[in-house]
Amino acid sequence: MTLAILAVSPQGIQTAKPILSNYPDARLFSTHPGEGVEHIDHIQSFVAEQFTAFEGWIFIGAMGICVRSIAPLIGHKYTDPAVINIDSTGRHVVSVLSGHIGGANELTRDLAALLGAEPVISTQTDNTGLWALDLFSRRYGWVTKGSSEGLNRPIALYTNREKTALLLEVQDKGTSELERTKADHVDIYYSREELIPRLSEYALLLVVSYRALETDQLPVVHFIPPVLSLGLGCRYQCDPKDIVSYILGEVRRHGFFPEAIHHLATIDLKKDEPLLHELAATLQLTPEIYTAADLADVEVANPSKKVHEVTGVWGVAESTARYAASLGSLVLEKQKGMLHNGNDFTFALAVERSAERRGHIEIIGAGPGDPDLISIRGRQWLEIADLILYAGSLVPRALTLCAKPGATVRSSADMNLEEQFALMKEFYDKGLIVARLHTGDPCIYGAIQEQMAFFDAYGMSYHITPGISSFQAAAAELRSQFTIPEKTQTIILTRGEGRTKMPETEQLHLLARSQSTMCIFLSAGIVDDVQRQLLEHYPEDTPVAACYHLTWPDQRIYRGVLRDLAQIVHENKLTLTTMIVVGEAIDNRKGLSRLYADEFKHLFRK
């Protein structure tokens, strides 16, 4: 955002200094002299001349001067710049004009945080936690299409908490946020077949889809995500006259929004076709060109032997549409057309695979135990999941208390792998979201490899959200930096050899040669052997810590030296949920990081 800061008084120039430091592209104007000030002769005249030259104005001074300066210039909330007023002492930051649409509200919060001031925002949606419907396009990359009345009435109905239906026929970051943040007067539907019989219950309908849903019963606002791919085939040197408008008209006639088309694709044999380039210019897209080898394994709904003989693929339009959509489903099968004699063409539509409302499994790192130490993303998945399957013996149930109403929450402690798979697949096959909750970070002794092999075998959608590992929690609770300059720069995460055999090259006594900081998982039950192997290379007075149930309410930490490690574990009856840490880094306060040397100071300057 290009910003103009207007300081009414010399004191205002001082208030502006931290703003200039944090917004280096901002320009400071004043009728008073000062460092970094661009001199102006008259405030109101300057604002009148430059009002539209900046995306945001920050007045520092009396509110009356701000209001009188901008009043004759105010046009429309969709075109006016953001205007903020700050009193000369920097105590209050007020959003004056173009609140959430122009970005004034967001800028108000940022400036208030910067100055340690009080933000003053009067926009109803910002103060009530309701959605700003007119910001969805900018926030989520969607196209907004309101009813013939525009957005004013739908926004009023929504902010007045009239009963609202929200139809989500795709899934992306935006829809996940809407699911998680919906107000009590909003009901979510995932199928129009389920929604349509109940439309009479609502005053407003919001639709997030690439398909139109028109009704005369109530106002409708469509939010159109760019998730469609259009595949094109045509006869050699097909005359494009009228064909582009015909194709887009057919897309609309079948109920799809041309605005949802994000990819235009064809085979390399057609890369120079005039029809392709005219369609690309109309859609403002760069054509994506694929070879027959790229498309060889793409399944199509309407295979053609003739097309295969000529191109090497079973259907140009359908295969290129699906390939561009990451092998998503066809939503409009091959359509044939011929507006001029001998100028036949085909087209098809596919939806991006990741946007389809299908089942999904999110493997989530729960962190070491404290519910506050799960990541924001992990918590958000838990809030929208239909099934939360958590490792009950290792993950506190408190982590699942954020589940949405109606969600199934199950511990996997009494389930074998086959039973876990069956339960997850049951929900997945219904197009629902499964949150598989593992302790710490799933990549460290997380037992997820077998699960991912199962998901891969069935072609299931899944992803991993990382978590804070218990070794990081150990460092925090021990108030220790595990990498100390000129002492140890390596952290080893390992375990002792119990029932699970260790590779010969990873035996503890071999790893101990480095005398690095070592965090040993799952080994309290074999502590005598652990101590024996560590003593082969670590001095017997090396600091150690036995950390039980890190960050849990019953956390216990025992410090000592290596020669007493086994005694510490035995005397305190510590169990498998204990991490053993060994190394000079524990409690070390010696050694200064070179990051604080003068030669590195430039790294911390804006």
The pLDDT tens digits of the residues spanning 68-97 come to 999 999 998 778 999 999 998 899 999 999
- In this prediction, residue 140 carries a pLDDT of 92
pLDDT, tens digit (0-9, with 9 covering 90-100), for 357-387? 889 999 999 999 999 999 999 999 999 999 9
3-state secondary structure of 544: strand
- In this prediction, residue 597 carries a pLDDT of 52
pLDDT, tens digit (0-9, with 9 covering 90-100), for 400-440? 999 988 899 999 988 999 999 999 999 998 888 999 999 99
3-state secondary structure of 281: helix
pLDDT, tens digit (0-9, with 9 covering 90-100), for 304-316? 998 898 888 999 9
Cα angle 537-504-541, degrees, rounded to a multiple of 5: 15
Q: Which residue type does 272 have?
A: D
Give the tokens for residue 208: 């997030």
Residue 327's pLDDT band (boundaries 50, 70, 90)?
very high
pTM for the whole structure: 0.69
- In this prediction, residue 204 carries a pLDDT of 95
Q: Are strands 344-351 and 228-234 parallel, antiparallel or unpaired?
A: antiparallel
Residues contacting 433, CB < 8 A, separation 6+: 359, 360, 361, 362, 381, 384, 385, 386, 387, 427
Query: What average pLDDT does the segment 270-281 reach?
Result: 95
3-state secondary structure of 25: coil
| Sheet of strand 3-7: strand arrangement | 37-39, 27-30, 3-7, 56-60, 82-86, 92-97, 118-120
Query: What average pLDDT does the segment 289-297 reach?
Result: 94
- In this prediction, residue 602 carries a pLDDT of 53
- In this prediction, residue 44 carries a pLDDT of 94
Q: How many helices (H) and strands (E) does the chain have?
A: 21, 27
- In this prediction, residue 148 carries a pLDDT of 61
Query: What average pLDDT does the segment 476-499 reach?
Result: 91
Q: What is the 3-state secondary structure (H, E, C) of 358-387?
A: CCEEEEEECECCCHHHCCHHHHHHHHHCCE
Checking if the pLDDT of 340 tops 80, the result is no
Query: What average pLDDT does the segment 277-296 reach?
Result: 95
Residues contacting 404, CB < 8 A, separation 6+: 383, 384, 385
Which conformational region is residue 305 in: left (phi greater than 0), alpha (psi within -120 to 50 degrees), or beta? alpha
Q: How far apart are the first and last CA of the chain?
A: 18
CA 10: distance to chain centroid?
A: 44
CB 102 within 8 A of CB 81: yes
What number of other Cβ atoms are within 10 A of residue 494's Cβ? 17
- In this prediction, residue 405 carries a pLDDT of 86
Q: Which residue type does 258 have?
A: P
Residues for the chain: how many in total? 606
Checking if the pLDDT of 606 tops 50, the result is no
Give the residue from 166, 164, 158 showing the smallest Cα distance to 194. 166
Give the tokens for residue 171: 């899934």
- In this prediction, residue 573 carries a pLDDT of 93
Q: What percent of the chain has pLDDT over 70?
A: 96
Query: What average pLDDT does the segment 145-160 reach?
Result: 84
Query: What average pLDDT does the segment 178-204 reach?
Result: 93
Residues contacting 339, CB < 8 A, separation 6+: 241, 242, 243, 246
Round to whole Å and give the CA distance between 428 and 458.
11
- Mean pLDDT lowest among 61-65, 129-133, 189-193, 559-563: 129-133
Round to whole Å and give the CA distance between 269 and 236.
9
Query: What average pLDDT does the segment 50-79 reach?
Result: 93
Mean pLDDT for the chain? Answer: 91
Q: List the domains of the chain with CATH numbers.
A: 1-121 (3.40.50.11220), 131-222 (3.40.1390), 226-349 (3.30.420.180), 358-467 (3.40.1010.10), 469-580 (3.30.950.10)
